Structure 1
């Protein structure tokens, strides 16, 4: 299977009415937002303006961008460790895979929707934050992708153009859109951000952008409620008498076992999300956590999603729901790998997928709540982020973590 990394209504235990809900306009339509004009350092609250930078791996918006996307992806040793031959094997693998991956993106509409959804989510969240936290307003939405436009370098330059940094100071929050932390995803994105900060503002960073990091949120109640609500909606499509027997398969992107054995926290944090969702559902159905998108001959974290579905079908289980648990929007892993390959090739109407988070208003409320609590905490990053993996030997990781930890109190 080719590499594809990344990456409403509700019933019981729904989120109670809150300030977030009251801020929403009745009948608001979820059209994609237009960007606010640039903010400047004289357009502030007492602690604003604040740049909210959504970090993700990204995806090619058109098939013409697939080659460059794969080249950057296979060049990243944090994501796909290829050892000393990375500079040779990375370009070779990306060139060989480009034609096939282009066909897959063409099959889901000609490109990934991840940029569209990321820009929408960040813009809608900032509208809520302006009202929830006027002292740190205005909140300006940005998106910084690791392997696709807008790249981290492009976004950092946009921050500087908009009046942050370059002797003017200003505050920015790097908000990971990987709910569960991995050195291969959030860690890689932060390494890239730290690299461009040093290149564009200098290592001493005098009067540079003051950064803080939201580095993980695997069991936030809003995230849990949004995922659980989507599961309940899909369960409602099965006959009542069989509903409780439907198997729930939570699917997350896999990791090489070399990364897992180094002490990466990702498997435990994904499991925390799954347990929180099942607790919300009162453990109504049998469930398993499975892993997708592994590539190459080396050992990866399993069981594989595709194999799990095949084996359950052989055992007579033909009613299953696949649940994307580590992705915040649709992209090729959901629209092609799960929908067209795993579900399509299984050939059973009872095998379905729960909806991705996308424009889910409960999820966007959750993003605003996470950001608001972070802004009020004054912390530059969590204590977990400061801790390196037990077997980490990366000097880059050490210096990146040190930089963000030393940003100090932001209140």
Structure 2
């Protein structure tokens, strides 16, 4: 094969319950994700292992992220073959940061397939050193460690927070979520993004700015009068993280008398534990305690055609 290889970089997850411990070990050993890893890493694993394992058991026994990525990759490459036959055939390779298959497996498969032109495509719409930065650094380290520095000609896509096709796909999920309410115009829209340590933002990380840009673009695209907010979920460890927290915001909205709430996972491109457990179970229970009688979550992007077409167009713009 010649054509173009697209390396889809993502965090990954524990595919089975037996994978939870090694996944957490890799996650908390990442210096970009957890600078105080030598002290906090082992403590966080011990504190979270039983709870996280139980949560994965409740959502089916493991993370569905790999399955969704495979589906996204299949649809994206089929679309790319039609959009840009001159750069085809296109083939996707998964490289997960804290699970297998990792970067080494993706690079080895690409070389075996005879790929020369490669695209590094992190599946994080918003750049952060903890996600995109960490994944790209791992990819470049692996290239050096495997002696493949000169094996490929690279194009890098490191962010896409306001790409029109992505914004339109995300807006589609909001529209579908609102349609589930008896009185959609009365629903408050709460966008929920993965949180980040405040000290990383203070050092200049653009993640919160780019996340707000997505929220603004989606609401502009929808042109609806519903009130909307942005909050952050998935805090880990004792250090200060971005605020306001999603669960705390839900509680505050309840005290204000909000009864209809649509929560929109904005920094996640597929269902995994942050949507299926944190939002669908933990935050839903917080909403009930707060007196919010109509709580809905907008569907994740997953493999909806508008989103996989958006992925293809993001790549096509960079390689043609």
Do both proteins adopt the same fold according to a TM-score greater than 0.5, normalized to the shorter chain? yes
Note the C-alpha offset of 1:144: 0.6
1:33-112 alignment, distance < 5 Å: 39=1, 44=2, 49-82=3-36, 86-112=37-63
Corresponding residue for residue 219 of structure 2: 278
Note the C-alpha offset of 1:88: 4.2
Which residue, out of 163, 179, 195, partners 1:236?
179
8 A contact 1:171–1:210 mirrored in 2: yes
Quote the Cα distance in structure 2 between the aligned partners of 1:97 and 1:356: 25
Quote the Cα distance in structure 2 between the aligned partners of 1:152 and 1:90: 23
Q: Tell me which structure has the larger Cα radius of gyration.
A: 1
Corresponding residue for residue 170 of structure 2: 227
Deviations 1:40-71 (A, max 9, x none): xxxx4xxxx11111111011111111111000
Which residue, out of 307, 317, 320, partners 1:373?
317
2:61 aligned with 1:115: no
Corresponding residue for residue 32 of structure 1: none
8 A contact 1:246–1:321 mirrored in 2: yes
1:21-32 alignment, distance < 5 Å: none
Which residue, out of 153, 159, 167, partners 2:104?
153
8 A contact 1:60–1:149 mirrored in 2: no
Q: Mark the runs of 5 or more structure 1 residues left unpaired by the alignment.
A: 1-38, 165-169, 377-411
Note the C-alpha offset of 1:149: 1.5
Note the C-alpha offset of 1:152: 1.6
SS at match of 1:244: helix
8 A contact 2:250–2:286 mirrored in 1: no
Quote the Cα distance in structure 1 between the aligned partners of 2:81 and 2:93: 15
8 A contact 2:247–2:286 mirrored in 1: no
Corresponding residue for residue 402 of structure 1: none
Note the C-alpha offset of 1:224: 1.2
SS at match of 2:262: strand
Q: State TM-score, norm by structure 2.
A: 0.96
**Further displaced range: 287-296 or 266-275:** 287-296
Quote the Cα distance in structure 2 between the aligned partners of 1:140 and 1:230: 27
Q: Runs of at least 4 residues of structure 1 off by over 6 A?
A: none
Quote the Cα distance in structure 2 between the aligned partners of 1:297 and 1:267: 20
8 A contact 2:187–2:261 mirrored in 1: yes
Q: Mark the runs of 5 or more structure 2 residues left unpaired by the alignment.
A: none
Deviations 1:346-393 (A, max 9, x none): 2244011000000110001111111111101xxxxxxxxxxxxxxxxx
8 A contact 1:55–1:145 mirrored in 2: yes
Quote the Cα distance in structure 1 between the aligned partners of 2:264 and 2:75: 24
Note the C-alpha offset of 1:135: 1.4
Note the C-alpha offset of 1:318: 2.0
1:203-282 alignment, distance < 5 Å: 205-206=149-150, 208-240=151-183, 243-282=184-223
Corresponding residue for residue 195 of structure 1: 141
SS at match of 1:250: strand
Quote the Cα distance in structure 2 between the aligned partners of 1:346 and 1:217: 31
Corresponding residue for residue 186 of structure 1: 132
Quote the Cα distance in structure 1 between the aligned partners of 2:224 and 2:231: 17
Note the C-alpha offset of 1:112: 0.7
2:90 aligned with 1:136: no
Q: Pick the structure with more helix per residue.
A: 2
CA-based RMSD? 1.3
8 A contact 1:55–1:175 mirrored in 2: yes
Deviations 1:322-353 (A, max 9, x none): 10011100000000001000013422440110
Quote the Cα distance in structure 1 between the aligned partners of 2:127 and 2:210: 7
